[in-house]
């Protein structure tokens, strides 16, 4: 989450007048994250989240995201529900941006990930994959392997000078990694709808239990095990970027208890983890170089994912992940 677009009091009050959510009590921008502009809303009817869609989100795809969230919620996944206005539409325009209101989920995300978080995460991820099986619309993963070389090219438009300022030789390292991973990318693995961005700040816990999943705006139809790879990257590295195999084992075993992994999926874990690492290294590098000055947004260091990538490139099989 982040804030790129400022919303005035008058504009927000006029916007909320189209909903049955009561009068505005308070609102504030949410600085965490890097993609859309998000505000916490408090109205006479309760708490909500307002999202203004920016940057990589194609407005034509917003009904797919909102529809998926509605579908998953109706299948028992605790996630934000889009709030429809009096006209029945959940999507409208505010401050020149497409915008929607969703319900607020209680809980907090784990600032320090422990092993106790990883098994509930695995269970929830597998349940999400199962719950989405009968959601018929599909969406290609706009940040899948076909996007990595073009995204890197855009980040290296200056000949790689900005990337090499992050770390000398980074441009060449990323170019080599993209070529290697794309050439090795698996085919024929089980597919369905994935979250694709299930970082700790998108998973809430309350009273020691997982209480909800948020931020579905990178969701897509892709390899299920790739979603696991995203989580292994996001949840199973320590602050010094060493890999915690115990956390990985807990995540994978809990996931497999709900949706068992095939031998082919297990064998593909190293390259899927490489792909997840390069995807986030590339988007973080692009944002590091291109984030507008003064934006209320938390920039994230791409090197954190380059170092993860190096670990996965050294992995020789699923045993590196505790199985």
Contact (Cβ atoms closer than 8 angstroms) between residue 50 and residue 93: no
Distance CA 131, CA 154 (A): 36
pTM for this entry: 0.93
And the tokens for 171? 């441009």
Please check whether residue 247 is in contact with residue 236, taking contact to mean a CB–CB distance below 8 angstroms. yes
Query: Residue 34: its pLDDT value, please?
Result: 57
Q: What is the rounded distance in angstroms from the CA atom of residue 323 to the CA atom of residue 314?
A: 16
Question: What are the φ and ψ backbone dihedral angles of 317, each rounded to 5 degrees?
Answer: 175, 180
Cα 195 from Cα 216, distance rounded (Å): 6
Domains of the chain: 9-103 (3.30.200.20), 115-321 (3.90.1200.10)
Q: What is the pLDDT of residue 4?
A: 79
pLDDT tens across the length of the chain (323 residues): 467 789 999 999 999 999 999 999 999 998 765 578 999 999 999 999 999 998 767 899 999 999 999 999 999 999 999 999 999 999 999 999 999 999 999 999 999 999 999 999 999 999 999 999 999 999 999 999 999 999 999 999 999 999 999 999 999 999 999 999 999 999 999 999 999 999 999 999 999 999 999 999 999 999 999 999 999 999 999 999 999 999 999 999 999 999 999 999 999 999 999 999 999 999 999 999 987 666 656 678 999 999 999 999 999 999 999 98
């Amino acid at each position: 989450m982040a804030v790129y677009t400022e919303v005035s009091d008058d504009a927000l009050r006029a916007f909320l007048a189209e909903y049955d959510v009561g009068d505005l009590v308070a609102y504030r921008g949410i600085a965490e994250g890097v993609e859309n502009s998000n505000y916490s809303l408090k109205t006479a009817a309760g708490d909500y989240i307002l999202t203004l869609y920016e940057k990589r989100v194609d407005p034509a795809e917003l009904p797919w995201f909102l529809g998926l969230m509605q579908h998953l919620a109706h299948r028992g996944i605790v996630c934000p529900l889009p709030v429809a206005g009096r006209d029945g539409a959940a999507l409208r325009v505010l401050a020149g941006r497409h915008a929607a209101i969703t319900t607020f989920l209680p809980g907090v995300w784990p600032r320090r990930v422990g092993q106790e978080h990883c098994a509930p995460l695995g269970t929830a991820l597998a349940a999400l994959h199962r719950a989405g099986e009968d959601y018929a619309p599909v969406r290609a993963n706009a940040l899948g392997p076909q996007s990595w070389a073009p995204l890197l090219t855009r980040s290296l438009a200056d000949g790689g000078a900005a990337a090499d300022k992050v770390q000398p030789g980074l441009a060449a390292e990323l170019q080599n990694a993209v070529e290697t991973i794309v050439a090795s990318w698996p085919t024929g693995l089980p597919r369905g709808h994935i979250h694709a961005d299930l970082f700790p700040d998108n998973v809430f816990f309350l009273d020691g239990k997982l209480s909800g999943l948020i931020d579905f705006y990178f969701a897509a139809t892709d390899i299920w095990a790739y979603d696991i790879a995203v989580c292994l990257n996001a949840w199973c590295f320590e602050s010094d970027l060493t890999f915690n195999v115990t956390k990985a084992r807990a995540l994978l075993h809990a996931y497999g208890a709900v949706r068992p992994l095939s031998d082919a999926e297990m064998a593909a874990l190293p390259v899927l983890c490489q792909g997840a690492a390069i995807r986030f290294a590339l988007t973080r590098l692009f944002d590091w170089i291109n984030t507008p000055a003064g934006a209320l947004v938390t920039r994230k260091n791409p090197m954190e994912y380059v170092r993860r990538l190096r670990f996965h490139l050294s992995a020789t099989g699923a045993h590196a992940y505790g199985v």
